[in-house]
Amino acid sequence: MFESQYEAMERAEIAQLQLERLQSTLQRVYRNVKFYRKKFDQAGLLPEDFQSLEDLGRLPFTTKEDLSNSYPYGMFAVPLREVVRIHSSSGSVGNPMVVGYTCRDLRNWARLAARMLAAAGVTKDDVVQITFNYGLMTGGFGVHYGAEVLGASVIPTGTGNTFRQVQIMRDYRTTTLVATPSYALVIADKCQEIGLDPKDLHLRVGFMGGEPWGEDRRREIEERLLLQAFDLYGLSEAMGPGVAGECEYRQGMHLNEDHFLPEIIDPVTTAPLQPGEIGELVITTLSKEAVPLIRFRTGDKCSLTYEPCPCGRTFARLSRILGRTDEVIIVKGVNIFPQRVGQILAALQGEAPVYQLVVGREGRQDYLEVRVEVRESIFFDRMVAQRQLINQLSHKLAQSIGVTPRVKLVEPNTIVRIGETSPLVIDQRG
């Protein structure tokens, strides 16, 4: 599935299509979304003022905080009766970020994910096993739809139960694995543990996303599972998996520019950066009906290139995600806002406790430990109370951030401080 009428357009044609779709999107959000209408009015702007893509820089940014503050439906540009799917992810403050999809949004999502799969060589003859989460976060849905558009067979195994994953992979003759890079190596470890030779599997393609990874990890995955590993990119706020993905040449991820208008900015000054320079990715959706986003600051650190690709696709290519420009940490493919953890703890404790997030790795698996300072009295002959508090905190945090943490209660002044504060996050993954 190579949509050459879009994916191989001349750059001038891409720019014209983007401008037309941008103008339509600006009209829609100004008319239907109070948040954007207020922003435009404050800046003294009207949708009619935008006659060139160069005018994009005059528009205000949209942040994760804006989405959280608009909970639940404040950013919706269509009536709720036209929304056929709702997803959400943990917000940076207070409420989660809620996104919706119309029927057309879902069709576009499926088609763009199909493009990504096809660019890596997936066809109707493949069996695609998806180990991403299926739930309120967009997770495995986009890849699932894309594979079905191609006519491939889909196995929606979801997360966890690695032995069963490997058993299915072998018995159902999976050819395409979709996983986070760390979980792909967990699967490789399980194969080794049970004595299963990867040569006895039928894997040939792997799609890895949800967390930063480098060439060393790509080589290890490929050598241990005997497949070719491809990078993919998506974000729940804009669509989900399918925003960008690598082709057979693996020289960056082709970003679907007919549906997304990308920018790279300096995360501190917000000044635009040149192609090849590393900064924060900003995305404007060009076709999203339910929740259009104008200049959404993703927080992802990367670069863009517009150089021609040997595959013939002319869309801009996104580099690997090199990290975050904010304090977000990624654990098991889930973005976690440290401040959100603090809010949850404060709501449960009745006051803001001293806390610290420690991210580590055991074997191939990442874990999150939340250390919380509590009053000394709970440590004296109060084991039952300790256990109840730990269970309560762990359950509530898992509900809110999407990852079940280890909760460790510590006595006052136990968390090491530098000056008057303690480091909010300690990442021990190296």
pLDDT, tens digit (0-9, with 9 covering 90-100), for 27-48: 999 999 999 999 999 999 999 9
Give pTM, 2 decimals: 0.84
The pLDDT, as a whole number, for residue 229 is 98
204, 340: one domain: no
Q: Do 315 and 344 fall within a single domain?
A: no
Residues 145 and 221 in one domain: yes
Please state, in angstroms and as integers, the Cα–Cα distance from residue 422 to each residue in 143, 169, 342, 379, following that order.
40, 45, 13, 22
Do 307 and 373 belong to one domain? no
**What does the pLDDT read at residue 381?**
55
Last residue of a domain, one of 325, 349, 376: 325
User: Do 90 and 15 share a domain, yes or no?
Assistant: yes
Domain boundary among 325, 353, 387: 325
Q: How many CA atoms lie within 13 A of 330 on its CB side?
A: 18
Query: Do 285 and 381 fall within a single domain?
Result: no
Return phi, psi of residue 51, to 5°. Answer: -115, 0
Question: What CATH number is associated with residue 339?
Answer: 3.30.300.30
Nearest residue to 151 via CA among 132, 124, 170, 174: 124
Same domain flag for 97 and 227: yes
Q: Which residues of the chain are modeled with pLDDT < 70?
A: 91-94, 376-382, 417-421, 430
Number of domains into which the chain is organized: 2
Contact 301, 399 (CB under 8 A): no
Domain that holds residue 411: 331-427
Residues 139 and 272 in one domain: yes
Q: For 196-349, where are the E strands, in sequence order?
A: 205-208, 228-233, 244-246, 253-255, 260-265, 279-285, 296-302, 304-305, 317-318, 323-324, 329-331, 334-336
